[in-house]
Structure 1
Amino acid sequence: MSTEPGQSRGGRIRLVVSYDGANFHGFARQYGLRTVQGVLEETLTNLLGVQIDVHGSGRTDRGVHARAQVVHFDLPYGPPANRLVHVLSGRLPSDIIPISAHNVDSDFHARFSVVRKTYRYHIFRGVHPDVFKYRFSWHVREPLNIALMQRAASHLVGEHDFTSFCAAAAPQEDKVRRIYEVNVVESGEDAFLYCSGSGFLQYMVRIITGTLVDVGLGDISADAIPDILAAKSRVSAGRTAPAHGLCLWNVEYPIVYGGRVLDL
């Protein structure tokens, strides 16, 4: 097929998208279910008339959102990267928003080139529910001791076996991960938990959040985290926070690939 005017001759594209995860069964394609990867692949395939495979920086679970999900795909031809956002904006559903697109070399991989990911969890602490926040936050009415939550969070920083903080059925055999930072930030009736690391296990940030909320409520000691880690058992940690409060906030690559995708 010949290249039409205004089209590139293809190559690898890095695309950054945001999405509201409420009506998706997660990021990864699943037969017969609406997923972010599936919608992106279907849209690109219909646009170009050839099968396009999309690779993401990581999977988000059903109901989890993304401010900065990074994907890459290889185009045989198509719109130049600087026009791709405009083209996709008119074709993607309203709950997926393309942010930026760039040409990258073939060594770049949306997942395997990542050096750091940051998730943000939004806790709303108002007395009454907020109709403008319920889709993107966990409403916790009871008072939270943020100082104790931050103290507990400090025990999670570093390289640990996070078996206690992931789904019991998580497929990864190696449960060791490195966490660079866990911060709990207050802003009026809101509290935001930021968790940065080299990679995460299934439900890991949600279980970390749920456990820290249990600490804030006084149900778990702030200094119990090292023992919970050592137990290597899911039942030792606290609850799993709801999916809808979680957002993939940022992804960072080596400087050669542009570093941090979005400003924090």
Structure 2
Amino acid sequence: MRNICMKVSYDGSRYNGFQSQPDGNTIQDHIEKAIRMLTGEELNIIGSGRTDAGVHAKAQMFNFLTASAIPIERWPLALNSRLPDDIVILDAVEVPESFHARRSAKRKTYRYTIDTGKFPDVFGRQYRYHHYRPLNVAAMREAIAHLIGTHDYTSFTSAHSTKKNHVRTIYEAYIEQDGPFLHIYVTGSGFLYNMVRIIVGTLIKVGIGAVAPGDMPAILEARDRSKAGPTAIAQGLMLWDVYYSELDAGLSDQSQG
């Protein structure tokens, strides 16, 4: 058996997230169907993580075991011809049998985009959250800096989270401004359910003056979902990148972009 890792980019607007769900219509469902059409194999792919309904990915990683002898360089084109136009395989690499797209991941980066223009940009509206009120970006930058480090992020996960341990590490968190667009980048060891969207919702409260930047440590310490801001809408969120060590058969060199 061969263990193959792939990088996929997708527009999540019309899907129920990455991971298979009882109602179907997920990115995983479509990829597994494409593989089945190509090789005849019934298999389950392993994603580096899940994305919720409406969330996009610039670089989601997944792996699977296959008995197929198809040359590695032919996999992306072969699958793309069997996938919807809004799901595109960007790269493929053969990895050791021990490689696991989720467990082998060292860190992940998400990007959330806010459109602060007077009117929404009609051509990019499905990838941004339009916020019509002015935002204090300096205050938001001061606030997000408090989230860097290893913390219990219970305040920044859904009350429906099933994880027993809410301790995670955020390695980097910052805001870039590009004209009317604010790009919020968060890189961490892993993320809880709705974690980035709740962080963004809280930062928006800071941006409008409803929460002080200095309140962020107390919100973290409270470990209480009600102390943080609302959950920002899904469409502005994108899984930006997933990072692996060089030990993973050169995956960092061949599959990172």
Normalising by structure 1, report the TM-score: 0.94
Residues 1:259 and 2:252 aligned together? yes
TM-superposed deviation, 1:182: 0.7
CA contact (8 A) 1:67 1:249 kept: yes
RMSD of aligned alpha carbons: 1.0
Q: What is the rounded CA distance, in whole Å, between the counterparts of 2:71 and 2:83 in structure 1?
A: 18
TM-superposed deviation, 1:78: 3.9
Q: What is the rounded CA distance, in whole Å, between the counterparts of 1:91 and 1:114 in structure 2?
A: 27
Higher mean displacement: 205-214 or 37-46? 37-46
Residues 1:77 and 2:71 aligned together? no
Residues 1:18 and 2:9 aligned together? yes
Residues 1:114 and 2:105 aligned together? yes
TM-superposed deviation, 1:38: 1.1
Identical amino acids, percent of aligned pairs: 43
Aligned partner of 2:150 among 140, 146, 159? 159
Q: What is the rounded CA distance, in whole Å, between the counterparts of 1:48 and 1:259 in structure 2?
A: 27
CA contact (8 A) 1:206 1:246 kept: yes
TM-superposed deviation, 1:262: 3.0
Normalising by structure 2, report the TM-score: 0.96
**Partner residue, 1:211:** 202
Query: How many residues end up aligned between the 2 structures?
Result: 254
- Equivalent residues in 2 for 1:64-213, closer than 5 Å: 64-213=55-204
Q: Structure 2: state its 5+ residue gaps.
A: none
Q: Structure 1: state its 5+ residue gaps.
A: 1-9
Q: Secondary structure of the equivalent of 2:125?
A: coil
Q: Which amino acid aligns with 2:252?
A: G
TM-superposed deviation, 1:141: 1.2
Q: What is the rounded CA distance, in whole Å, between the counterparts of 2:73 and 2:47 in structure 1?
A: 20
Q: What is the rounded CA distance, in whole Å, between the counterparts of 1:21 and 1:120 in structure 2?
A: 14
TM-superposed deviation, 1:50: 1.9
Q: What is the rounded CA distance, in whole Å, between the counterparts of 1:127 and 1:77 in structure 2?
A: 53
Q: What is the rounded CA distance, in whole Å, between the counterparts of 2:24 and 2:125 in structure 1?
A: 24
TM-superposed deviation, 1:175: 0.4
Q: Secondary structure of the equivalent of 2:23?
A: coil
Higher mean displacement: 27-36 or 155-164? 27-36
Q: What is the rounded CA distance, in whole Å, between the counterparts of 1:91 and 1:77 in structure 2?
A: 17
For residues 97-128 of structure 1, the C-alpha deviation after alignment (integer angstroms, 9 at most, x for no partner) is 11000111101110000001000001111101
For residues 139-162 of structure 1, the C-alpha deviation after alignment (integer angstroms, 9 at most, x for no partner) is 011111111101000110000000
